[in-house]
């Protein structure tokens, strides 16, 4: 019984929680639970446990991003480094997303996704107008930092934190004093991440249990080709592409990297939210991957906001699948257009469950596919969302590791270390 709460077994316990959730959820589903009528266990108990767990991690997102980024920026020995880190990080984020979607579309074309599939267009989906570039850029600048924090507008919070960090760097003694306080506060909030993770096995059990109870697998059978293609592309990108990129650009051990990332991936899978996973990814980057705070505090939150390779993969396969099923020829220029729009759409996708599908409307709109078709793949989206979120957060960590290594802001010792006791972290 004690082992259930022993932090040394946390990863194992999360896995057990996940498996138990899967089994209980499937049983409930077989006993007749549906999304409309989930019953007490899935609809009340699991829902309650899952909500409380996810909300308690979400509450850490804004304070943690703000504090760690202020500390990270203020402790840079040279503020000019920031520009170089920024350019490098953005280049990797956009580059990996473009590779992801190209793989997805390549596989979908190769396997003739959607050929012979009968489309039944009845549900309605509306498109969000994409704002112009000027509006997007203007909106990164917060008018009121408190409003930005209250709304959870991450890009605005990131910019505010960087500016304050730079000012602290330049302010001499007062800057040093504020930095010491921010450092202490940051350590306290990080500690809270560790404390809350103790509840992860139970939270994960509830989240997975609820999903499996109301999902049902019959939809997967009907959309098997689409489902397994997206899954295969996600796994290929998540393990092979990232493995190659990590090896080529950092020379680090790929196996070690994935061992150190296990818990973050499991957590992203269960919550289907990059945002809720952000505190853990940030903590893990520093204490398990050896990424120094000066880099991780910037690259990880930025990635959680704009880097969504898994989402782009789903969008790539979905576009080919639907266009082929409808007999619409997109042609090379159409495909290039999809690569561009899906890359941008994944930048604009918020890290919460299911948003990728909403942003797919933007891609469909761009290439003239009917938005109602999105309803067709809705039924299998939740499970794919779980996997693509795990890919999304892994991408953030891969790029952060590469950037940290190239800047010399990386600790090989932490990267190589067997896990420190969980309660001693932070």
Contacting positions for ligand ASP (CB under 6 A)? 272-274, 308, 311, 349, 351-356, 385, 388-389, 392
Q: Are 197 and 280 in contact (CB under 8 A)?
A: yes
Least distance in Å: CB of 297 to ligand ASP?
20
Least distance in Å: CB of 118 to ligand ASP?
26
Beta bridge partners of 410: 291
Least distance in Å: CB of 391 to ligand ASP?
9
Query: Residue 199 carries which DSSP code?
Result: T
Cα–Cα distance measured from residue 17 to residue 201, given in angstroms and rounded to the nearest whole number: 5
Q: Could you tell me which residues come within 8 angstroms of residue 139 by beta carbon, excluding any fewer than 6 positions away?
A: 131, 155, 156
Using alpha carbons, select from 258, 239, 204 the residue that is nearest to residue 25.
Answer: 204
Nearer to ligand ASP, 71 or 308 (CB): 308
Least distance in Å: CB of 356 to ligand ASP?
3
Least distance in Å: CB of 6 to ligand ASP?
30
Least distance in Å: CB of 411 to ligand ASP?
27
Nearer to ligand ASP, 385 or 409 (CB): 385
**HSE (side-chain half, CA atoms, 13 Å) at 34:** 6
Nearer to ligand ASP, 7 or 354 (CB): 354
CB neighbour class for 218 (10 Å; exposed up to 12, middle 13-18, buried from 19): exposed
Nearer to ligand ASP, 223 or 304 (CB): 304
Using alpha carbons, select from 345, 258, 362, 259 the residue that is nearest to residue 310.
Answer: 345
Beta bridge partners of 291: 410
Using alpha carbons, select from 183, 238, 248, 237 the residue that is nearest to residue 405.
Answer: 248
The length of the chain, given as a count of residues: 426
Cα–Cα distance measured from residue 296 to residue 292, given in angstroms and rounded to the nearest whole number: 6
Nearer to ligand ASP, 186 or 349 (CB): 349
Nearer to ligand ASP, 396 or 409 (CB): 396
Q: Are 309 and 97 in contact (CB under 8 A)?
A: yes
Nearer to ligand ASP, 39 or 379 (CB): 379
Nearer to ligand ASP, 164 or 229 (CB): 229
Nearer to ligand ASP, 50 or 356 (CB): 356
Nearer to ligand ASP, 294 or 392 (CB): 392
Q: Measured in whole angstroms, how far is the alpha carbon of residue 23 from the centre of its chain?
A: 25
Read off the tokens for 405: 């290594």
Least distance in Å: CB of 18 to ligand ASP?
17
Least distance in Å: CB of 77 to ligand ASP?
33
Least distance in Å: CB of 202 to ligand ASP?
21
Least distance in Å: CB of 283 to ligand ASP?
18
Ordered alpha helix ranges (H), 111-223 = 133-138, 145-151, 154-170, 173-197, 200-215, 218-222
- What residue number has its CB nearest to ligand ASP? 356
Tell me the residue ranges of DSSP E strands in 306-361. Answer: none
Mark 145-162 as b/e (b = at least 16 C-beta within 10 Å).
beebbeeebbbbbbbbbb
Q: Determine how many CB atoms are found less than 10 A away from the CB of residue 332.
A: 7
Nearer to ligand ASP, 267 or 422 (CB): 267
Cα–Cα distance measured from residue 159 to residue 144, given in angstroms and rounded to the nearest whole number: 12
Least distance in Å: CB of 234 to ligand ASP?
11
């Amino acid at each position: 019984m004690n082992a259930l709460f022993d932090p040394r077994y946390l990863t194992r316990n999360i896995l057990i929680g996940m498996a138990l959730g899967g089994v209980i959820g499937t049983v409930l589903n077989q006993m007749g639970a549906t999304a409309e009528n989930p019953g007490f266990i899935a609809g009340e108990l699991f829902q309650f446990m899952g909500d409380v767990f996810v909300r308690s991690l979400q509450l850490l997102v804004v304070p943690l991003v703000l504090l760690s980024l202020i500390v990270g920026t203020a402790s840079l020995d040279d503020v000019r480094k920031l520009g170089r880190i920024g350019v490098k990080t953005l280049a990797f984020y956009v580059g990996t997303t473009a590779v992801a979607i190209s793989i997805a579309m390549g596989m979908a074309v190769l396997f003739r996704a959607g050929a012979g599939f009968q489309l039944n267009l009845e549900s309605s989906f509306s498109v969000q107008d994409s704002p112009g570039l000027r509006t997007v850029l203007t909106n990164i600048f917060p008018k009121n930092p408190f409003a930005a924090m209250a709304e959870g507008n991450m890009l605005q919070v990131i910019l505010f934190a960087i500016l304050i960090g730079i000012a602290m760097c330049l302010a001499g003694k007062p800057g040093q004093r504020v930095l010491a306080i921010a450092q202490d506060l940051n350590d306290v909030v990080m500690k809270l991440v560790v404390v809350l993770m103790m509840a992860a096995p139970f939270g994960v059990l509830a989240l997975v249990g609820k999903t499996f109870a109301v999902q049902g697998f019959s939809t997967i059978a009907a959309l098997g080709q689409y489902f397994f293609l997206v899954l295969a592309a996600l796994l290929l990108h998540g393990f092979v592409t990232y493995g190659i990129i990590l090896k080529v650009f950092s020379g680090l051990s790929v196996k070690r990297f994935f061992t150190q990332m296990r818990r973050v991936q499991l957590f992203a899978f269960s919550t289907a939210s990059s945002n809720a996973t952000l505190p853990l990814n940030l903590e893990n980057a520093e204490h398990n991957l050896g990424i120094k705070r000066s880099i991780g505090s910037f690259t990880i939150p930025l990635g959680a906001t704009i880097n969504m390779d898994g989402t782009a993969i789903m969008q790539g396969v979905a576009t080919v699948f639907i266009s082929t099923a409808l007999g619409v020829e997109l042609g090379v220029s159409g495909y290039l257009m999809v690569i561009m729009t899906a890359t941008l759409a994944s930048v604009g996708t918020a890290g919460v469950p299911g948003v990728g599908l909403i942003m797919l409307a933007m891609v469909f709109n761009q290439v003239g596919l009917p938005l109602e078709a999105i309803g067709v793949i809705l039924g299998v989206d939740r499970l794919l969302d779980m996997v693509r979120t795990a890919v999304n957060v892994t991408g953030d960590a891969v790029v952060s590791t590469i950037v940290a290594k190239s800047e010399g802001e990386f600790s090989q010792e932490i990267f190589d270390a067997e896990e420190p006791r969980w309660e001693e972290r932070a």
